[in-house]
Each structure stands twice: as structure tokens, then as C-alpha cells.
Structure 1
Amino acid sequence: MTNEFYFNLILLFLVAIIGLELVAKKLRLPPAVAQLVGGAMIAFLPGLPSFEIDPALVLVVFLPPLLMDGAYFTVWHEFRRHLTGILLLAIGAVLFTTLVVGLSLHALNPGLPWAVCFALGAIVSPPDAIAAKAVLQRVALPRKLMVLLEGESLLNDATGLVLYKFSIAVALTGVFSMQSALGDFVLLSVGGVLLGAAFGYLVYKVLGYLQDTALVILASALPGWICYVVGEHLGVSGVIATVTYGMILGWFQHEIMTATARRRGSAFWEIMIFILESLVFILIGLSLRGVWERIEHAEKSWGAYSIEVLLVLVAVIVSRFIWIFAVDAIAKLFKHHPQKTHLQTNWRESFVKSWAGMRGVVTLAAALAVPAQVPGRDLMLLSAFAVILVTVLVQGTTIGWLIRVLKIKHVAHEQVYLNEPQTWAKLEAVQFEVVKQLAHDEAGEVIHPRLLEQYGYRANLSHTLKDAHALPDDIRKAHFDVVLAAVAAGREELLRLHRSGQIHDELLHMMERDLDIQEIAALHTRG
């Protein structure tokens, strides 16, 4: 196969992304589900050769930017407040699932070495950041649940990959030391945090000297990959390094990036993340053919594998339920502790947390990376794909329905934060004070009367409405509907002048940009 063939294949995937996105919207399915099924269908197209995925390449290309995207938008205050719950999921749930899968599989098949059983448990134990984001961004959950699930998905890959590496090493060498394993885990975690923090500090200093917007975007995006590569090379967690860097950049970007850089960077990231997320699930679907062909030529039949795979599936799903309900039950002991109330949850929320355990690219890449000489490799591949397929197709498609059935209401934020009217009242009062100072000359004469009037009106209106639950839609929307109508009329006239040859393309683009900015601002403020 030539390089041209692979390029054409990538073009096919990009076209498939568009079609599958439309199918998902038509059928009201999570796009990840349509892409996974679509990739599997593409894999079996006549004339298409078997598609082999390099697991190391998949991880280094896809995982860092997708982890960084999630970390970039992490809310620090909520992350720190719920850090205990996040770690109980990201470390505790992964360890418990690995243990349950390993013990169950060995009980069913005592011929499999313990290390192999636990390696398979480590492969299927961590819910995937990409799968979780692809599904959870389309459902409405209480803010606390979203923080817990998103925080878990950022950190649990590190736990699963560390357990996986230890188990594979034991399977190959037969040597295991608990003291060494714990020491390595601490080194990987702390080293990853320090490396990510170092990159975050370096970028924080460098971006201040860059004036070009494209360079700012590039200089802020590249370290996401570099952190991962350097971390893996140094023997620390590249996952944690990337997440740490992303969180630091997300925190300081308000200070070190201009509005233009943020807007353009957001557009760049939105498109890139959309493509990468879509390609990940198509690649997972494509891998089905390789798994199918491998099992067809394996020593055991599909029927012989089915019981073991089913056991792994049940162990993965049930163990998460057991862990989460047990931890939440213990958290209820703190119900009278005023500083621990954020740990509490009800059974409905516990059920949704337990059901939101979609697996994805990390599970597949880890299974594909298992050395050929490790016994039970075919079972690992088949189990990994089955877990991904079932959790994405079943859990991913039903979680929205489950939320509605359990009547879990979406809460945008907890009451410790100001609401929108209160925030606008503070912001516009400050803006009005600045305008009042600058609207007069040295002699006290008003030189910007329209600005003074405009900001005074906005500040008075916001102050009047600061105790309201939400800003009145009729006032806000009526005002900006007029603005949007004016922008639309201006755009129509601008295009008429251009089409009739009365203005140059350069002037068209310049004035169109101004109209676009006005429209974006009006749409955003109107809501």
C-alpha cells in the first residue's frame, strides 16, 4: 500500500465523519456510537485491506490533545473541592475493577497466569476521557457529577496504564515487588505533575513575548504533545504531565492571551478536537476486522471465548457499581459534617455515575500493545473490543434516557457562586466607573456623551435586576434582535456592493470581519 492510498483513506474517513455526524443527529444517537459502528462497517468494505493500528502512535497522536482539551476547561475551584471523590474514582475504582476482573477470570480459567488476568483487568478498568467527553457533553447532569466524571476521566488513564505496565512486566518476567510497584507509581505521578508544571511555567513566560496570534496558538498547543512524549521518555506519567500542563494553561490563559488569540485558538481547537475524537472512534471500529481475523485463526473458537468475554464484561460493569455505591454509602456518614457535605450524593446520582463508564482508545491501544508472547493475548484483544463496544453502544446511548427516567435535574453551578444577573451587575458597575472617569476632559466637559449614556443605562439596569433569578429574556433578546437585524441588513448591502463591483475584495473582508464580530458579540450576550 502506497502513501497515496493512506492519504485517500484519510479523506474517506473525513467524509465518513460528516456523514456519520448527520446520521447520529437524525437518529438522536451520540456521535461516538455512529462513528464506532461506521468504522466497523468501513473495515469490512470489499477490497479494503486489513487495517493495523500502531498503539503507540494512536496514544501519542490522539491522547495528549484530547486530554489537554479537557484539562484546559477544568474549573480549578470545583476540581479541588471534589478532589477526594475524583481520586476515589480515578485510582480506587480502577484498582478495584482490575482486582475484580483478575480474580473472576482466574477463577473461571485457572490456567491463565495471575499476571495475565490482572493485565486484562488493567486494560479494561479505566473509563476513557475521549469516550466520556463525547457522551457526557450531550447530556445534562448536576455540576458535581460532571466534575467527578470529567476529573476521573482525566486522571484514571494514568492509573490503568501503570497497572497495565506492571502486569505485563510480571507476565513476561515472573518477578513482582509490591514495594517497587508503589514506589514507581508515586514516582510516575509526582514526576508527571512536576513535568507538567514546569512546561506550564515555561509557556506562561514565553507567551508574554509573542505578538503573533498564530505563534501564540502554536506555542500553547505544542507542549501538550511534548509533555506526553518527554514524560514517557523520562519514565514519568505523560498523561498526568499533559493534564497538569493543560490545567495550568487554562488557568492563566485569561492573563497571557489576547482576546483575538483566545477566539482564534478556540476555533482551532474546536475543529481539531472534533476531527480527532471522530477519527478515534472510526479507528476503533476499523480494528474490529483485525480482531475478527485474529480470533478466527486462534486455537480456541468464538464459543470458547464467549464465556470468558461475558465474564469480563459483567465484572467491569458490576465492579463499578459496587465501588461507587460503597463509597457513596460511606460518604453519607459525613452528612452531619458541615465541611464534608460535598461528598454526599443520592442513589440516583450514584447509579448514573456507575453507568457512565464508557471505555475507548486507551483500552484498545493497551490491548493492541500486548506483546505477542504473552499468553492470552487474543482474549485480551477480544475482551477489550467487547467492553468498548458494549459500554459505548449500550451505556453511551442510554445514559440520557436514564437521566430523564431518574429525574436528575441539571444544576449549572452550586450556590457558592454568583448568578448571571449578580455578575453582570458587578461587571457593568465597574465598566461604568471607568467610562465616567474617561468621558470627561481636564476641564470637566463631557467628550463621550453616548458612551456615558450607554454604560450608565446598562449599569442601572443590571443593578435593578441583580436580585432576579435570571435576566429577563424579553428585554435582552428584544434589544439584540434589533442589533442582529441591523447586522444582517448591513451584510446584505455589503455583499450587494461587492457583487456589483463597487468595492474591492480587501474592503469586503475587512468590513465583513467587523460585522462578524458584532454578530458574535450580540448572539453571545443575547444568549
Structure 2
Amino acid sequence: MQPTQIFELVIAMFLAVIALHYLAHRIGLPPSAALMAGGGLLAFVPGLPAITVDPSLVLTIFLPPLLMDGAWSIAISPLRRHLFGVLSLAVGAVLFTCALVAFVTHLLFPSLPWAACALLGAIVSPPDAVSARAVLERVKLPQRLQILLEGESLLNDASGLVLFRFAVAASITGMFSIVDAAGSFLLLAFGGALVGAAVGLVWVKIVRRLGDEYIIIVGTALISWTSYILAEFLHLSGVIATVTAAVIASWNQYTVLSASNRVRGGSFWTVMVFLMEAAVFILIGLSLRGVIERAGGFGVVAATMTWPILAILGTLILARFAWVFGSDGVIRLLNALGMRKYGPLGARAATVVGWAGVRGVVTLALALSVPEGIPGRDFILVASFSVIAGTLLIQGMTLGRVIEWAQLKEVDSHLPRLNLNQAEAAMAKVQLETMTRLAYDAEGKLIHPMLLDQFQRRAGAIARLAERTEELRPQLHAHFDTLLVVVAAGRKELLRLHRDGDIDDDTLHELERDLDLEELIAISNKA
């Protein structure tokens, strides 16, 4: 393809993203499912060239910023508290699923070498961070489940990538050592964490000295690729490096970034992540044509691979349920023996976790990375794509309903002592004390009466809301609904003044920014 054609195809892809997102919103589909299905249909449009995806390029472009986005917003304290459960899913469940898929694949194809069977297991075993984000952002979960699934999605790619490398090596050489694999995983993970920590700390030091806001925003975005590429160059875990760097940067953002940095950078990052997530799912769909053509066409795939693929998909789902419920049973047994550090999830919560194993871009990239000459390569490609489609369309589209059925309640005994309204009241109290001190000069003369009055009224209102949240909630919603109407009226008048030539563009932009902030605050408080 010519460079101009590639650019035109990219523009067409993003136009398709807009249309498919709109369609998904109208008919109530998860956008990720609509995007993948749309990409699959576009792949077979007559005259459209076949899309060839470079797997290493896909991982390098898309995975680091999407991992960073998840790690940037994850709650650190609950992650530390539930780290054992996260690692159980991110490492234990991946290993268990890989082994079970390899066993079932060998039963289906006895002539296929064990190494090739394990290769398929390594490819399809890790649930995907991008797909998990696309599903989790549409649902509300108790904190423990949210942390388990978010933490798993950030770390399990490292397990899958290590398994994949060893399975490829075993397929080529015929040799495999569990001890070597375990040692390599620890080295990759620990080394990746060190690289990520170094990048994160360097970012903190540099940002403190930068003055240009846009350089800071761009530099913050670049730490995801920097940590990933550097770790991979050193043959360490780029996934762990990216997550570590992002966690360190996120922890320090409130001391090294200005409010303007966070607001503008957050807007930039949100748009970029949206486009990248959308592009990933479109690319998954567009890759369908090459996978099907390589396997001999739809007829051959349907006739020879349908039942084995369904068996692999069923194995994946059952393996995750077996691991989650088995782990919960072990915790119950430990509780019965007097060891109560961890509490069981319970059947309904375990069902939600078991149903949340959606696959995506990492599975696709690993499948496309399988070297030529590996036995069963065509089946591995088709099975991998089918697993992505099956988990995304079946589990991704129904997870919300499963969560509604489960009717989960927050039971974490380590919930914060203060809720949002109480924290706001504590903050307002300190602000009022500070304002009261600053409102008078050295001689005791009141010099800021309007500010003092403003903070007194604000602190009083917030304190009342913290004490009577449920009682005052309808009044609060009415208050901010009214404020939004007033803001809209102010914006209409501001635009009239500008259109009539009574104010210049600078005045328009300054006052419009104030109105935008008022509107965002009103919407946030109303929610």
C-alpha cells in the first residue's frame, strides 16, 4: 500500500469508530464488541486490501499507554491489600489455564506435539488489559472485585508473554525446563520492576524542573513507551516496567503536576486512550480476513475446526471458574483452620470474577507472532481469534447482566474511614481555618470579608451535607440542576456579546473557561 492509501485507511477507520460507537450506544451493545464486529465486516469489503498486522509493532504501540492508563488510576492501598489475590489470578490462573488448554488440545489432536499445544495455551490464557478496561468501565463492582480484576489485567500479560516465549522455544528445540521457566519469569518481573521504578523516579525529578506545560504533558505520555521499550531492549518484562513506572508517576502526580497539567493532560490522555482502544478492536476485526484465508476459507474452518474451537473456548471458561472457585474453597478451608487473613469471595462474587476473563489484543499479537513451521499454526491462529471473538461477544456483552444478577454489596472491612462527603467536610474545615487566619492583618483588621464569608457559608453547607447526605440529596440535585441552567444562560449571553462585537476573542475565551469549570464542577457534584 502507498503511504497516502495507508493514511486514508486510518482516517476511514476512525470514521468507522465514530459510526460504530454511535450504533453501539443506540442499540445498547458494548462498544468493544461493536468495533470488533464492524472491523470484521470491513475486512471483507470488496476492493479493500488485506490488513497485515505486525504483532510486535501492535504490542509496542498500543499496550504500553493502555497499561499505563489502567495503572495510573488504580487504587494503590487496596492493590497492596489484595496483592495475593491479584497474583493468584495473574499468575496462577494463567498457568492453570495454559496447562488445561494444552491437555485438551492434545486430546483433540494427538499428533500435535505437546509444545505446540502449550503454545496455544500460552496465547489464549491471559485475559486482556484492553478488553478488561472496555468491560469494567461500564459496570460498578465492589472495591475488592474491582481491584482483583484491574490488577489481574495489568499483570497477567507478563505471565502470558513468558509462557509464550518458552513454548515457542520448546516447539523449535523440543526442550523445556520448568525450573528455567520459573527462574526466567522471576528475573523478567524483578528486572522489569527495577527499570520501571528508575523511569518513574527520573520522570518525577525531571518534571519538577520543567516549566512548559505542554512538554510536561507529552513527557508524561512518553514514560509508558520509554519504560516498555527500555525493558524489552534489556530482555526484561516491558509490561511490569510500564505498570511500575505508571504507579510511581501516579503516586507523585499531586506533588509534581499543577492543576492545569492534570486537567489538560487528563483531557489529552482520555482522547488518546479512546482512539487507541477503538483502533485495537477495529484491528482485531480487520485481522479476521488474513486468518480465515490462511486457514483455507470459511468452508474449511467451519468443517474442520468448529468443534475443536468450541472445546477450547469451553475449556478456557471452565478453567477460570475452576481456579476461582477452587481458590475460594482453599480460603474457606484456611478460615476454618483459624487462618483468617483473607476472606472468601462467595459464590456470586466468584461467578462474576470467573465470567470476566475476556481476551483481546495480547492474544491476537501473540498468535500472529507464532513462527512459520510450528505444527498446527493455522489452527492456533483460528482458535486464538475465535477465543477473542467468543469471550468478547459472549462474556463481554453479558457481564453487566451477570453483575446485576449477583447483586453484590461492598463488604470490604478495610473501606476508608471517611466517605467522599465527610472527606470534603474535613478539607473545607481546614480551608476555613486557614482563611480565617488570613482574613485579618497583623493588627486584627478584617481585610478579606467577602472571602471569609464565602468560605464560612461553603464549610457550613458541606458539613450539613456530610451529616444528612441522603436527606439532602434531592435538594443537592435540584441545586446543581439550577446551576447548570444558570451557566447555560450565562454562556448564551456571552456568545451574544461576542457575536455582536461587544467583546473580543480573549475575553470570550477567559469567561468561557470559567463557565466550563463551573459546569464541570456542577456535573461532578450532581453525580
Instruction: Flag whether TM exceeds 0.5 (same fold).
Output: yes
Aligned to 2:56: 56
Deviation at 1:136, TM superposition (A): 1.2
CA shift in 2, pair 1:65/1:45, >3 Å: same
Aligned length: 527
1:176 alignment partner, SS class: coil
Q: Deviations over 1:37-95 (max 9, x none)?
A: 00001001111111111101110010000000000001110000100000000000000
Q: Report 1:207-218 matches (<5 A).
A: 207-218=207-218
Instruction: Name the amino acid aligned to 1:496.
Output: R
1:329 alignment partner, SS class: helix
Q: Report 1:481-520 matches (<5 A).
A: 481-520=481-520
Aligned to 2:387: 387
Q: Within 1, Cα distance between the matches of 2:518 and 2:350? A: 44
Q: Deviations over 1:279-335 (max 9, x none)?
A: 101100011111110111799764222232222111111111111100011112344
Instruction: Name the amino acid aligned to 1:242.
Output: T
Q: Report 1:445-464 matches (<5 A).
A: 445-464=445-464
Aligned to 2:19: 19
Identity of aligned residues (%): 46
Deviation at 1:409, TM superposition (A): 4.1
CA shift in 2, pair 1:467/1:411, >3 Å: farther
Q: Deviations over 1:479-521 (max 9, x none)?
A: 4444433322222121111111222222222221222222222
Q: Within 1, Cα distance between the matches of 2:498 and 2:437? A: 42
Aligned to 1:91: 91
Contact 1:141–1:411 (8 Å) recurs in 2: no
Aligned to 2:7: 7
Contact 1:143–1:413 (8 Å) recurs in 2: no
Aligned to 1:77: 77
Deviation at 1:142, TM superposition (A): 1.5
Q: Which moved more, 1:2-11 or 1:492-501?
A: 492-501
Contact 2:292–2:301 (8 Å) recurs in 1: no
CA shift in 2, pair 1:213/1:238, >3 Å: same
Aligned to 2:171: 171
Instruction: Name the amino acid aligned to 2:148.
Output: L
CA shift in 2, pair 1:146/1:256, >3 Å: same
Q: Which moved more, 1:205-214 or 1:177-186?
A: 177-186
| 2:238 aligned with 1:241 | no
Q: Within 2, Cα distance between the matches of 1:521 and 1:299? A: 56
Contact 2:367–2:384 (8 Å) recurs in 1: yes
CA shift in 2, pair 1:200/1:52, >3 Å: same
Contact 2:71–2:154 (8 Å) recurs in 1: yes
Contact 1:421–1:471 (8 Å) recurs in 2: no
1:208 alignment partner, SS class: helix
CA shift in 2, pair 1:411/1:19, >3 Å: farther
Aligned to 1:274: 274
Aligned to 1:353: 353
Unaligned runs of 5+ in 1: none
Contact 2:144–2:412 (8 Å) recurs in 1: no
Q: Report 1:7-406 matches (<5 A).
A: 7-296=7-296, 302-335=302-335, 340=340, 342-406=342-406
Instruction: Name the amino acid aligned to 1:269.
Output: W
Instruction: Name the amino acid aligned to 2:255.
Output: E
CA shift in 2, pair 1:137/1:439, >3 Å: same
Q: Within 1, Cα distance between the matches of 2:42 and 2:356? A: 27
Q: Within 2, Cα distance between the matches of 1:143 and 1:413? A: 11
Contact 1:32–1:281 (8 Å) recurs in 2: yes
Q: TM-score, normalised by structure 1?
A: 0.96
Q: Which moved more, 1:243-252 or 1:356-365?
A: 243-252
Instruction: Name the amino acid aligned to 2:388.
Output: I
Instruction: Name the amino acid aligned to 1:10.
Output: V
Instruction: Name the amino acid aligned to 1:18.
Output: I
Aligned to 1:424: 424
Q: Within 2, Cα distance between the matches of 1:300 and 1:524? A: 54
Q: Within 2, Cα distance between the matches of 1:164 and 1:398? A: 29
1:159 alignment partner, SS class: helix
Q: Deviations over 1:360-382 (max 9, x none)?
A: 00000000000011111101101
Q: Within 2, Cα distance between the matches of 1:33 and 1:262? A: 31
Q: Within 2, Cα distance between the matches of 1:450 and 1:252? A: 34
1:348 alignment partner, SS class: helix
Instruction: Name the amino acid aligned to 2:11.
Output: L
Q: Within 1, Cα distance between the matches of 2:516 and 2:99? A: 55
Contact 1:204–1:249 (8 Å) recurs in 2: yes
Q: Within 2, Cα distance between the matches of 1:86 and 1:343? A: 14
Q: Within 2, Cα distance between the matches of 1:105 and 1:471? A: 59
Q: Within 1, Cα distance between the matches of 2:430 and 2:51? A: 59
Contact 1:143–1:410 (8 Å) recurs in 2: yes
Q: Within 2, Cα distance between the matches of 1:100 and 1:455? A: 62
Aligned to 1:407: 407
Q: Within 1, Cα distance between the matches of 2:203 and 2:346? A: 42
Q: Within 2, Cα distance between the matches of 1:217 and 1:471? A: 42
Aligned residues: CA RMSD? 2.0
Q: Deviations over 1:348-368 (max 9, x none)?
A: 111111110000000000000
Deviation at 1:443, TM superposition (A): 1.3
Contact 1:128–1:157 (8 Å) recurs in 2: yes
Contact 1:85–1:343 (8 Å) recurs in 2: no
Q: Deviations over 1:410-453 (max 9, x none)?
A: 68996333112221221111000010011111211111112212
Contact 2:43–2:285 (8 Å) recurs in 1: yes
Deviation at 1:146, TM superposition (A): 0.9
Q: TM-score, normalised by structure 2?
A: 0.96
Contact 1:328–1:345 (8 Å) recurs in 2: yes
